[in-house]
A and B are shown apart, each in its own frame.
Chain A
């Protein structure tokens, strides 16, 4: 799409918590229709990057454009899936009501969701195979089901761009596979999907493009150019040996709690079952 504007354009973004900078002078463009992984060590500012674009954490400096327009004019174009652990799942509400919350932004102040919002939400639950849970208390869901409910809530936002903050943290392997399949379907429908991700071994399976973050953008682009061991070393500040596109572990289905690929290199054909953090 040479003529269409980038999905997200970030210029000179700096974010600080108190007096500690988390992101420093970040420039980044995310093309439309890609499935992009955002990768970096803990505390590198991955989540903060998404939150700063969404206006959830204040920017010290910098501008954000969404689909070629200023963020404020186009903020409804981004659907958001926060970290699952960021909310209290004991909150008294049903799965259907949770999903309906995705329509609140478009409804604006004071207007209540009606029949249209309900049918949209039920359709979203259908898509994420959660229809049978519509009337269930959210506190009764498993981790994977919670994640699907969150995805359904973002889906009813009906946005061309989606931000997901660690959607695979502590979900089982089956759920992870189902979620990635659904996300790829969305990508194939032309949506832009940006995912904060921890597991370096699945990058080549899941994403078309990657952004390496550590306070600044180390690299951003297609897997072939940005997911190299040299750039990863730079991102993680050292000993990530034999990881990246060169080493041929594209199919390794391992899930590691820490992104150190040296383990993988010792047993490239390791069986897929590893417990998650």
Chain B
């Protein structure tokens, strides 16, 4: 374990995954409270198409496909935003329900992404740099470089800054969008910024967690945090801590077993934390509620006995 922290690469990976977890945990609280998990999942899956398009573009331009996050994250961002805009367009121009529209969008973008991925892997002549592309499905944190870490850090700090700056607006809009609009706040701006930082919170995790499981790192820490507190501020802070723990611990664990994708390990750690929160949390936890229910039953029995 000691050698882990002295190792330069592993330290980069640890910092990166912990940071990703903290940012997506914090940002995920708003997705959780607005019931937008499905939107998040569509963004995550859709980003694969952007990754592939930007990888192939970098191959066409330089002769070697780039797997640097500095190149791939802008692609993932564009694809994520495009899928949301297309969904919005479909909803305003057809009678499709939101969940169906999102489902269709996920299928189109992820399907095309997978198609491009397979084609790239089998293309002749060989496309340089294609090795390891499949890791974007389930994540391979060990691939993280210093420049990747910078990219994640800058985007993460920016999203958190936007969230803190617009805290009051985010809070009101999440709780009561109609009232927010009635007070004259430009709610389309609030909505756009919230979606944007959610997309950023998702795409910074494409390399370490992978597009398939990234949604879990967005929503699970938020769900766990909600169990422990009834204050939005505390919830966001707790979710950030939980997410950081999941990301960091998950990457260490997956590094200790060779060739295990990082995403599933991180998600398993998040699930364990969620299970603990679900059972042990005061007030909302299963055990606390069970005890409360037993007490009620007992006093009901006493009351009934007293009647007789």
A interface list, Cβ under 8 A from B: 51, 54-56, 75-76, 78, 80, 82, 86-88, 91-94, 98, 101, 104-105, 107, 109-113, 137, 139, 153, 157
CB-CB under 8 A from A101, the residues of chain B are 171-172, 175-176, 179
Show 6 A/B contacts (Cβ-Cβ < 8 Å), sorted by A: A51-B178, A80-B182, A91-B33, A92-B229, A104-B185, A139-B230
- State which of A94, A105, A113, A153 has its C-beta within 8 Å of the C-beta of B184: A105
Query: A88 CA to B178 CA in the complex, in Å?
Result: 12
Neighbouring A residues of B182 by C-beta, 8 Å: 51, 54-56, 78, 80, 82, 105
Q: Is the CB of A112 within 8 A of B168?
A: yes
Give the 5 A-B CB pairs with smallest separation, nearest first: A105-B183, A80-B182, A54-B182, A137-B230, A56-B181
Does B232 touch A at the CB level, under 8 Å? yes
Contacts of B230 in A (CB 8 A): 92-94, 137, 139
Q: A93 touching B181 by the CB < 8 A rule?
A: no
Q: Which residue of B is nearest A89, CB measured?
A: B175
- B166 sits at the interface (CB 8 A): yes
Bound-state CA distance A253–B234 (Å) is 46
A92 and B183 in contact (CB under 8 A), knowing A82-B178, A86-B178?
no
The verdict on B26 contacting chain A, using a C-beta distance below 8 Å, is: no
**Residues A56 and B235 in contact, CB atoms below 8 Å apart:** no
Instruction: List B contacts of A111 (CB < 8 A).
Output: 168
Contacts known (A101-B175, A105-B183, A105-B185); A92 close to B168, Cβ less than 8 A: no
Q: B167 at the A/B interface (Cβ < 8 Å)?
A: yes
On whether the beta carbons of A110 and B165 are closer than 8 Å, the reply is yes
Q: How large is the interface on B (under 10, 10 to 19, 20 to 34, 35 or more residues)?
A: 20 to 34
Q: How far is the CA of A137 from the CA of B229 in the complex (A)?
A: 10
Residues A112 and B172 in contact, CB atoms below 8 Å apart? no
Check B184 against A87 for contact (C-beta < 8 Å).
no
Closest to A47 in B: B178
The answer to whether B176 touches A94 (Cβ under 8 A) is: no
Asked if B41 is at the interface (CB within 8 A of a chain A CB), the reply is no
Report the minimal beta-carbon distance from A22 to chain B, rounded to whole angstroms.
Answer: 16
Which residue in chain A gives the minimum CB-CB distance to B176? Answer: A87
**Restricting to B155-176, which residues have a CB under 8 Å from any CB of A?**
165-169, 171-172, 174-176
Q: Given known contacts A92-B229, A109-B169, A139-B230, is B175 in contact with A56 (CB within 8 Å)? A: no
B178 and A92 within 8 A (CB): no
Residues of B within 8 A of A137 (CB): 230
Q: How far is the CB of B183 from chain A (nearest CB, A)?
A: 3
A154 CB to nearest B CB, Å: 9
Q: Which residues of A contact B185 (CB under 8 A)?
A: 104-105, 109
Q: Which residue of B lies closest to A71 (CB)?
A: B184
Is there a chain A Cβ closer than 8 Å to B226's Cβ?
yes
Interface membership of B293, Cβ < 8 A = no
Q: Enumerate chain A residues within 8 angstroms of B171, measured Cβ to Cβ.
A: 93, 101
Q: For A112, what are the chain B residues with a Cβ–Cβ distance below 8 Å? A: 167-168
Give the CA-CA distance A137 to B282 in the complex, in Å: 14
A residues in contact with B183, CB < 8 Å? 76, 80, 104-105, 157
* B231 located at the interface, meaning its Cβ lies under 8 Å from any Cβ of chain A in the complex: yes
* Cβ contacts B229-255/A at 8 Å (1 or 0 each): 111101100000000000000000000
Contact among B33, B169, B179 for A80, CB-based, below 8 A: B179
Chain B 267-296 interface mask (CB, 8 Å, partner A; 1/0): 000000000000000000000000000000
Bound complex: CA of A82 vs CA of B182, how far in Å?
10
Chain B residue at minimal CB-CB distance from A163: B182
- A93 pairs with B168, CB closer than 8 A: no
Question: Please, which residue of chain A has its CB at the minimum distance from the CB of B35?
Answer: A88
Interface residues of B in 212-229 (CB under 8 A from A): 226, 229
Q: For the complex formed, measure the closest distance between the CB of A106 and the CB atoms of chain B, giving whole angstroms.
A: 8
Bound complex: CA A37 to CA B14 (Å):
62
In the bound complex, how far is the Cα of B33 from the Cα of A267, in angstroms?
A: 48
Is A93 touching B169 in the complex (CB atoms < 8 A)? Answer: no
Give the contacts of B118-171 with A (CB-CB under 8 A): 165-169, 171
Known: A101-B179, A105-B184. A94 touches B168 (CB 8 A): no
B184 touches A75 (CB 8 A): yes
Q: Which residues of B contact A55 (CB under 8 A)?
A: 181-182, 184
Starting from the known contacts A93-B232, A94-B230, 10 additional A-B residue pairs (CB-CB under 8 Å) come to A80-B182, A88-B33, A92-B229, A92-B232, A93-B231, A104-B180, A104-B185, A107-B168, A110-B168, A112-B167
Contact partners of A98 in chain B: CB under 8 A: 175
Nearest A residue (CB) for B235: A92
Distance between B94 CB and nearest chain A CB, rounded to angstroms:
11
Chain A residue numbers with a CB within 8 Å of B178 are 51, 56, 82, 86
Partner of B175, one of A91, A107, A157: A91
B27-50 vs A: 1/0 string, CB under 8 Å? Answer: 000000100000000000000000
B-chain residues with CB within 8 Å of residue A93 when the two chains form the complex: 171, 175, 230-232
Most B C-beta atoms less than 10 A away, residue of A80, A92, A112, A153: A92
